[in-house]
Structure formats: structure tokens, C-alpha cells
Amino acid sequence: MSNPLKFLLSFFLIPSIFISAQSEDKILSGFLPVGGKQIELIFILKENQKTIDVPAQYAFDMELTSAEFKGDSLFITLDMMAMKYAGKVHGSIDSISGVYTQGSGSMPLTLFPKKDYKQVSRTQKISPPYPYYTTDVVFKNEEANIDLAGTVTAPDTLGKYPAVILVTGSGPQDRDESLMGHKPFLVIADWLTRNGIVVLRYDDRGIGKSKGNFRAGTTMDFAGDASAALNHLATLNFVDKEKIGVIGHSEGGVIAPIVAVNNPKTRFIINLAGTGVKGRDIIVEQSELLARADSTVNEEYLNLYLDLVTRILDGIMAKPDLAARQIDSVYKSFIESLSPKHKEEIAGKEQFNKQGYFSLATPWFIQFLSLEPTEWLEKVKVPVLALWGSKDLQVPPLQSLKPVEKALIKSGTYYEIEVFESMNHLFQKVVTGGISEYSTTSTTIEPEVLKRMVEFIKKR
């Protein structure tokens, strides 16, 4: 799952942007001052592909969406993020000086050519023409009255085929579950469809072409969206109604059993790095493991950080209806407990930034903290495949596997469990499992994991 405490990882929301480049390929770079740091934005403008990289955020190969050169100026806008950039081009793009605006805040941004920049390679890029049928669809979550948009891929020969929906992890995700230069759901959909399986993947509510308000949604709301996707899949005449399933990644692995329990059309589920304990315990564990994956971590300040995180999470859970007030109160108490030396040394450090913690006072996060995945797994009556990577530091199998297996034994359903050696939360082969490896690893998802899913589905 996406780390609910993203700001602790120095994430700054940099929107996807599109630049209508001039005839030759160009790479432009500029720096934004964010949280006392200089965050570099790198625009790669090729004739057939236009992307942005933000190395400090481990974000690479993000597709761009709208902008153009007009005379001696460059104009960029992104309505979804309330972002715009206007810059004046000097010389033959020797530099572009302008202003970057997002929401109500603005700051200067000057772009310069960066000809020696080397992009991170990707070994599983999927692009047309596809050897199968593909179409964009819109379907409705009737209960929430929200239209959701997605893509269906299917074998291009007549017949009835097994089918799945793909459910993303936490945080706003598009239909490809795009993150850090990878598109895991595009890779999964391509592999499954090439092996005779219909796939529906969709943008989260309020993201991409889907309607609704993502920030106001909870895990249970997102389960309703997934159920609507399953219902739509069941209407397609090339789908075998007796072989429809749900593949959920991370938080999607929590949503999958909820859908299976509530929607009788579900015939199987595949849980990719799904949690087996409540969100509060996941966050505490992953916060420590991810920090320790950084060899430069300071033990003294790690303990302070974990103390603060634990206090705030427990404070929210104690009075969820007063989450913001609890965060304020707990934070003040924490600061008052520090020595003058520690107060001075943590000042300005992002992981101790009070404002960042207020972003946790959302309906989703409050529900996520106390949601027990095993309560739903115990009710599942369809076959389950649960997979993890041994180096997953976001949903570590040592914490989640046993509770998941215990719940499935109690349910009495058929299940298979496997932990893939040396793989992380995205099922990439890695060394440490740290966040930085997500973007620097060229493979998006290991083929052996894809093969394992096909094998399970074909047995149904």
C-alpha cells in the first residue's frame, strides 16, 4: 500500500504535466524549493513520449497531459491539481523563466536543458498495438451514484473467458496503479489477457476519468466501487460468469474479501501483499522497517519519530470524531516531553512537522486504522490465493501472513499462500525492500508472480 504517512518520506505532490514539445527531443530541468529542500523536476520531451521525472520522490516516467509553446513562451496547466506554469523562453530554449502555481501558492521555476540526463530503464513497457481486444468503459456505482471509468482487455477470439477486476492499493491511483515510473496494473492486465483472461481495471473515484471525491471516501466506499466494477464485468457477453474474481493489491487485498462476502458474483480472490492486521499496526511496523532500510538512519531520532507516530495514531483511535483535535493535543504533549536539545534538533525536520500530521484526519485514514481484515477473511467462501514478497516492508509477511492464514482456516474455504523470496511490496526482486528500490528497479513485477496468478485462475 502507499504509505499513509507519505509526507514522512518527503513526498511533495508534483502533478503530471504535458508539454507539446517542439520538433526535436528535449530534456528540461528545474528546481522547486520544498520543505527546505530543492526538488528537481525533469521534463523529458520526446516526439512519441512526454514525461516528467522527480528523482527526489523516486517518481519516474510519469506521463504528461497538457501544455504548449506559444511564440517565446511556454504555458502549462493541469486543472485536476489546480496547477499552471507560464514561462518565457530565452534563446533557442537556453532557459525558460516562469512561475509555477499550485492551488493558492506560487513560486518561481526556471527550466534549463539537461542533455546528459539518463532515464531509468523499464523492461516491461506495454504499448499498442495490442494482440487482444481493448476498450474504455464507464460504469456506475449505483449506491454512491458515481460514474467510474476504466479499461477492459479481452482475448480477440469468440468465446467465454475467466475474468477479473483489479483493485488498487491505498492513496489515489489511476487504472494502471501508476507509481514511481511503473504501471503494475497495466503489466498484470497485459499478461493475464495474453493468457486468455478478461481484465477490468479502473481509475479510483475522483481520479483520472472517474467521478466522485476520493478524499471523502473510505475503504468500505472503495469496496462498493469494486463491487460495481465486478457487476459490470458480469454483463459482458465474453465473460464466463462462473469464473469472475477480484485481484487486490495492498489495500486492494483488504477490499477483495469485502467484495467476495458482499457480492455473490465473486468466484475467487487473489490477495497481492494484503494486510492481515489493522491499519494502526501496519503503519507502526512499516514506519520502522522503511526507516531502517535507510543505512543513514539515526537511531535516537528514529525512536523519537516512532514514539510520535504511535502516540498520534492511538490518539486518533481513542477519539476518531475529534481526530484533528487529538493530533494537535498529542503533538503538543510530545513536544513538551522533549529536552531543549531535542526540541532544537528536530526543528525543521519534515518527519516532525505538525502540519503534515493533520493530513491524517481523513475519513479513509480514520477507518483504516481500526479496520480488521481478518473479520472479512473469516467469512470468505470462495478460493483464495494470497501472495507476499519476503522483503515487503510496507506489508511485511511476518506480520500479516499468519493472521490471514488463521482467518482462512476458520472460514473453511480453499486457499493457497506463497511468499516470494527477495521480492518487495511491488513483487520486484530487490536487496533491501526500501522505497528507493521501487523506482530504480527496472522490472515492474516478476514474471513468476504473473504466472502464479494465471495458474490459479485457470484452475477455477
Digit-coded pLDDT (tens) for 133-155? 999 999 999 999 999 999 999 99
Would you state the pLDDT for residue 142? 97
Asked whether the predicted pLDDT for residue 69 surpasses 90, the reply is: no
Which band of pLDDT confidence, cut at 50, 70 and 90, is reported for residue 67? low
Which band of pLDDT confidence, cut at 50, 70 and 90, is reported for residue 2? very low
Would you state the pLDDT for residue 101? 84
Would you state the pLDDT for residue 14? 31
Would you state the pLDDT for residue 433? 95
**Is residue 221 one of the residues assigned to a domain?**
yes
85 and 105 together in one domain: yes
138 and 108 together in one domain: no
143 and 259 together in one domain: yes
Would you state the pLDDT for residue 81? 61
**Is residue 122 one of the residues assigned to a domain?**
no
Residue burial 309-322, b: 16+ Cβ < 10 Å; e: rest? bebbbebbbeebee
**Is residue 265 one of the residues assigned to a domain?**
yes
258 and 322 together in one domain: no
**Which of 50, 78, 113 delimits the end of a domain?**
113
Q: What percent of the chain is modeled with pLDDT above 90? A: 68
Asked whether the predicted pLDDT for residue 456 surpasses 90, the reply is: yes
197 and 304 together in one domain: no
156 and 269 together in one domain: yes
141 and 57 together in one domain: no
**Is residue 119 one of the residues assigned to a domain?**
no
How confident is the model over 96-117, as pLDDT tens digits? 999 988 888 899 999 999 988 8
Q: Which of 175-184, 216-225, 272-281 has the lowest mean pLDDT?
A: 175-184
Asked whether the predicted pLDDT for residue 36 surpasses 80, the reply is: no
244, HSE (Cβ side, Cα atoms, 13 Å): 24
**Is residue 360 one of the residues assigned to a domain?**
yes
Q: Which residue has the higher pLDDT, 239 or 60?
A: 239
Give me the chain's average pLDDT, please.
Answer: 89
- The residue length of the chain stands at 460
How confident is the model over 422-445, as pLDDT tens digits? 999 999 999 999 988 998 899 999
Angle between helices 219-234 and 251-262 (to 10 degrees): 60
Asked whether the predicted pLDDT for residue 20 surpasses 90, the reply is: no
324 and 406 together in one domain: no
Asked whether the predicted pLDDT for residue 266 surpasses 60, the reply is: yes
**Which of 83, 113, 143 delimits the end of a domain?**
113
Asked whether the predicted pLDDT for residue 5 surpasses 50, the reply is: no
**Is residue 1 one of the residues assigned to a domain?**
no
Would you state the pLDDT for residue 44? 84
10 and 100 together in one domain: yes
Q: What percent of the chain is modeled with pLDDT above 70? A: 93
Would you state the pLDDT for residue 429? 98
195 and 140 together in one domain: yes
Task: Report the pLDDT averaged over residues 38-46.
Answer: 85
Task: Report the pLDDT averaged over residues 352-356.
Answer: 88
Task: Report the pLDDT averaged over residues 353-382.
Answer: 95
**Is residue 58 one of the residues assigned to a domain?**
yes
245 and 389 together in one domain: yes
CATH of the domain at 387: 3.40.50.1820
Asked whether the predicted pLDDT for residue 296 surpasses 80, the reply is: no
**Which of 367, 389, 410 delimits the end of a domain?**
367
Task: Report the pLDDT averaged over residues 198-205.
Answer: 98
Asked whether the predicted pLDDT for residue 22 surpasses 50, the reply is: no
Asked whether the predicted pLDDT for residue 255 surpasses 90, the reply is: yes
Q: Say how many domains are in the chain.
A: 3
- The residues, ordered by sequence, that sit 6+ positions from 6 with a Cβ below 8 Å of its Cβ are 171
Would you state the pLDDT for residue 223? 98
Q: Which of 66-70, 295-299, 437-441 has the lowest mean pLDDT?
A: 66-70
Task: Report the pLDDT averaged over residues 168-188.
Answer: 93
Asked whether the predicted pLDDT for residue 16 surpasses 50, the reply is: no
Domain that holds residue 401: 133-278+371-458
235 and 377 together in one domain: yes
**Is residue 118 one of the residues assigned to a domain?**
no
Asked whether the predicted pLDDT for residue 23 surpasses 70, the reply is: no
Task: Report the pLDDT averaged over residues 17-29.
Answer: 57
Which band of pLDDT confidence, cut at 50, 70 and 90, is reported for residue 334? very high
Which band of pLDDT confidence, cut at 50, 70 and 90, is reported for residue 79? low
CATH of the domain at 102: 2.40.160
